[in-house]
Amino acid sequence: MGKIFGTDGIRGKANHYPLTPEMIVRIGRSVAVVFGNQPGAHILIGADTRASGDMIVSAINSGICSCGVNVLHAGIIPTPGIAYLSSNTDTAVAGIVISASHNPYFDNGIKIFDGNGYKLSDQIEAKIESGILDEGSDKTAKPNQEIGRIIQLPDAEDQYLDFLCQCWPKKHDLDGLKLVIDCANGATYRIAPVLFESLGADVTSLFIHPDGKNINAECGSEHTRVLAQKVRETGADLGVAFDGDGDRLAAVDETGHVLTGDQILAICANYMKSQGQLRNNMVVSTIMSNIGLTMALDRMGIDHETTDVGDRRVMEKMRATGAALGGEDSGHIIFLDQHTTGDGLLSALRLMEVMVGQHKPLSELAGIMTVAPQILINVSVKSKPDLNELMALRQVISQVELELNTRGRVLVRYSGTQPMCRVMVEGPNSEITERYCRKIADVVSKTIGEAS
């Protein structure tokens, strides 16, 4: 991992390194240098609803323009909207989203797409990072007559909405479907209600009043309690929640039960196979996926590949294997036959397509996969030394793995976007699984935890 880029772009606390105005100008310059080497090049910029977005957008625009590259400013728009526009705007050479996804409002980040709508390779990230850290990068500034301009793109959200509507199969409609949506006070707060209402659903919308600080605050894909309650209260057929930038989906069935991302993958894989849409009979997920997904896909006769954590890694494996479906248990689902990145709104449409196409409630569809008990504990850490060099941690992991034997598994890894160590254990029942997970997490906390 580089000094600045994490698993999903650049992320941190707004107005703290590396997200200070001075650094963000350098980031903008480096992106412009790497991508803007052709006449008439434009870089798309979009953001979620965080208060710090204005500051970061202004700084990155300044860096880009100083290198003689124009900016197309799309305003508040979901991350997958920028990915779509990057690949469907003739002069766009890259797209940048200012967002920290599901993180709280005081965090922010910078996600970058190439001109084809894909997240960047390690090699391109390294090139951009080298330019950011180069003390002579200010020499890339252009003379006055060549400074880039900022051009407003007022129909950006409408273009993205049209794309999503075209993804919905015309043989189906959502008439009569009662839907509750949670927009996380984030980037989907305008587009999501319009999308689902335009397709005929009876929509109840939650958390659609962003104030710059309430994004993801006890709402969205990470906090589904209110959504589940509203689904039960209204007798809805389905509830869906998005994260702050709209690239994740969480789904709640008609009973108020929250599905995992792996369950959504299994449901869509089974339906796509029945429709002849599951290219190469393949699904890609990450090492964090529940063992129940592997077992479900095996029963369906579907091949399964796993990758390291991150939807970028999933996409790389999908492109390498020719798979049309992949994703993460966190709710990043990629339908490569329609889009180049995870898209919460598109994922919701595809899930509803299965419900309508098979005339089954979501609770019944979810039965296709049995979720093995899984506990995930996030431990805040003060540093990130090589986990293999922490002898006490190695010993406790080996002990737990020996006791679990074939009844479960252990995965311990650092977060790529936050100062956290993630401890995940799967086991035969919830009590045993939680006990083992806490045992390992306690060792992590004592060894490298913030308070240690």
Angle at Cα 162 formed by Cα 192 and Cα 87, nearest 5°?
Answer: 105
Instruction: Measure the N-to-C terminal CA separation of the chain; round to a whole number of Å.
Output: 25
User: Who's near 274: CB < 8 A, 6+ residues apart?
Assistant: none
Provide the residue type at 211 as one letter: D
Cα Rg for the chain, rounded, in angstroms? 22
Q: How far apart are CA 173 and CA 194, in angstroms?
A: 15
Active site residue 383: no
CA-nearest of 329, 333, 330, 351 to 342 is: 333
Structure tokens at 148: 């880039």
Element (H, E) at 56: helix 53-66
As beta bridge partners, residue 111 has 97
Report phi then psi at 156, rounded to 5.
-60, -50
Q: What's the rounded Cα separation, in Å, for the pair 217 and 103?
A: 9
**Choosing from 30, 66, 101, 137, which is the catalytic residue?**
101
- Alpha helix (H) ranges present in 138-278? 156-167, 191-198, 225-234, 261-274
> Would you please indicate which residues are annotated as catalytic (active-site) residues?
101
